[in-house]
Amino acid sequence: MTLFYFVDLYELDRNAKQKKIATFRMQESEQGMIEVDGDHNYPVLENIKNEGIFDYKNAKPGKLYLYDGMNFLENLKYYFRSGYLLATDVQKTTVDN
């Protein structure tokens, strides 16, 4: 069994209905390496990967990137909270090897 931590990111369509645009996933045994399930060419995901997000949890200036692992995952929900874009909390799942 392999344990993964993940965060889902949603956006809204013109009717204010949600659709999932990405899952950010990190394997417990590979802390610090986040994979993104979603359209990598989608501008929102490109922007997250290239421009990073802010660190609200530790109230630090500067940015977090995919390679920041759990710290990145934990801050997605603070960065995307307007409703137009909305992230889940960090969740866990296990996958059979």
Partner 1 sequence: MVEGQSFEKHETPKPEIGPGVDIESVLRGEIEEIDDYYEGYWPIQRVKIKDDGTAFFKTETTEPESPYYARGDYETIAIKLDRLLGFNIVPISVKRTIGEDRGIMECFIDDAEPAIKFSTYWPLMTTQQEIAQAAVFDYLIGARDRHAGNFLINSETGKIWLIDHAVDMFETGRHGSLIYDEARGKEISDETLSRIVALLEKLDSMSIEEVAAYAGETVDVSSIWKRIRENAVALVNAKVIL
Using CB under 8 A, list all residues that contact partner 1. 8, 10-12, 14-18, 20, 43-44, 46-48, 50-51, 53-54, 56, 59-61, 77-89
Nearer to partner 1, 1 or 59 (CB): 59
- Give the single-character DSSP code of 31: T
The two structure tokens encoding residue 47: 């922007």
Distance CA 92, CA 23 (A): 12
Name the minimum Å distance from CB 97 to partner 1: 28
Cα separation, 54 vs 31, in Å, equals 19
Shorter beta-carbon distance to partner 1: residue 38 or 77: 77
The smaller minimum CB distance to partner 1, of residues 26 and 80, is found at 80
